Structure 1
Amino acid sequence: MRHLPLDGGGREGVGAQTPGQPLVSIHNLHKHFTTGRALFGPRPILRAVDGVTLDINCGETLGLVGESGCGKSTLARTLIRLYRPTSGSIHFDGTDIATAAERDLVPFRRRVQMIFQDPYASLNGRMTVRDLIAEPLEIARIGTPQSRTAKVHDLLARVGLHADHANRFAHEFSGGQRQRIGIARAIALEPDLVICDEPISALDVSVQAQVVNMLEDLQDQLGLTYLFITHDLSMVRHISDRIGVMYLGRIVELASNTDLYRRPSHPYTQALLASIPVPDPTAARPAAPVAGEIPSPLHIPSGCRFRTRCPIATDLCAASEPELRDIGGGHLAACHYAGAAPPQPAA
């Protein structure tokens, strides 16, 4: 395996890439955890990510949605190599980083950054904002103390804060301001890919819109690529170019923004979209919201993993797991009946 180029970070790396071409290619990725103790036999295995194949193109925003516990955050943390994959490959800009040693990941970590869900938990309360944002620059040995301070002030201005905020601590800010600090730290090294792990879920609605608009502006200014993980189906529709729907460790549908909302083809996607609140309570819904609880990843159902909650499940669904296939126009769905007339439920 070749090493990642040491000079690949920053805008030089983006210049070498072609918009619309895959920046990240994930193939058959698995991340399993062993849990608890077994009196007899092997320890139980939790299959958090269970065979994900996915491309993230340069310059795009790929939205990732699904219920809590479906593996979205585990996928993101495996992609950024906070977790070592159980199996599969992660090609970043042509280099497989899934099995890379930690010392070989140093240049990769400059090019991929993460914005976490809880801004307060991700910020060291004993460090000033200046030190928090300058820390990536110091670790990467970029610039002098004076130039790093100037860089911090520039980053604060980019995220809508003032230079005098640099001398304060995280507890002195509101939740929205803390998230802005986290975003400033994430873009300090001018990465190619930013993973946004539910960055707006802990914020007020009015602040959510401000943060999302700011992320879009930063993407235009810096040429960023986003993986945007969220529960908010309305917001992901606004910000994403393509949307992936994840269920119990796997991608069950993947399509462009407009196509997914115009013709959702997997029953799970249809149920998620039906659960979006509408201003008119008398308005007709296309399907019933998803019912029941998501099964445990310790005991994944046979065949189609959604069949225990699916209104059109048949014996075929229990016997074989559907593949993620193209049903037309690059719209992918993992359902035996996607793109065809669904079976009629038994009387």
Structure 2
Amino acid sequence: MTAPPTPVATDEPLLPGSIEAYLATRVPVCGPDDTAGVVRRGLHDRTFDTVADIAVCRGTRLLGLIPAEALLAADEGTSAAELMDADPPVVRPGEDQEKAAWKAVQHGESSLAVVGPDGSFHGLVPPARLMGVLLAEHDEDVVLRLSGVTASAANARHASEESLGARLRHRTPWLLLGLLGAGLAAWLVGGFEETLSEDVRLAFFVPGVVYMADAIGTQTESLIIRGLSVGVSIRRVLRLEVLTGVALGLLLAVAAVPAVVAVFGSFDLALVVALSLFAACAVATVVAMALPALMSRLGRDPAYGSGPLATVVQDLLSLLVYFVVATAILG
């Protein structure tokens, strides 16, 4: 057995999130020619930060790691060179703690060796500390993703603290697109002026049909954006969400028929409202799923653009559905 590694002196502060914050330097170290019996006896009457792995070094240079279970099961005369893993997971000082921990997990080792650029052995990050890193990173990721953050904490902070000019640049184009959509909606309604003049009561239900489609679309859109932020594939929710939109449209249609008949005394008008609600709500669900997915695929943040764009598309389609149905039934 040789002396544990001496921590490398440095005037540089640890980088935030550096794996060195979890480093253990009081670890068992042996040479490649030491036998299993010698190494086992060297563990007695000494205190270590961890004995999950034994570092095999030649001088200060790391050669490999011996898992404790392999050491305990080995014959007395087996050399450390025969027992060691000559290709253990190794990281440099300053390595990001999350990347370092996942490197150990993917390699299947219980400890992670920290080695300088010159090959000098700095110490081990033991299993309990690796678990602490993974749990801390997991908690951080969950908080960020449940908050709708799709990249990193730095990106989230930047989006929250960006200047007035940056906020206007990010939001104004989508709102101008919404203004254009409002103009198209007015033009679309004007195209059905004759239908409206034949039964002015149709105008009473335009806001209701458009609003209900927007409301259902907004619910779907929120679920999709939240799902994208945690890595949920659109394919996993496509069928269920489409069925939900159809079911909600059907429920609203069934509820609308007796209410319209009771107030206006017209079954034909009630049928127009009911069919329009059903179709508009189903279409709005599809639009609300498609646009965030498309924007995410194009590398754009769906939180900025999909809402205004989805509203424009849903409103135009809802109006078109409503007046087409009205023309077919009342015309």
Normalised to the residue count of structure 2, the TM-score between the two structures is 0.22
Which is richer in helix?
A: 2
Higher relative contact order at CA 8 Å, sep ≥6: structure 1 or structure 2?
1
Which is richer in strand?
A: 1
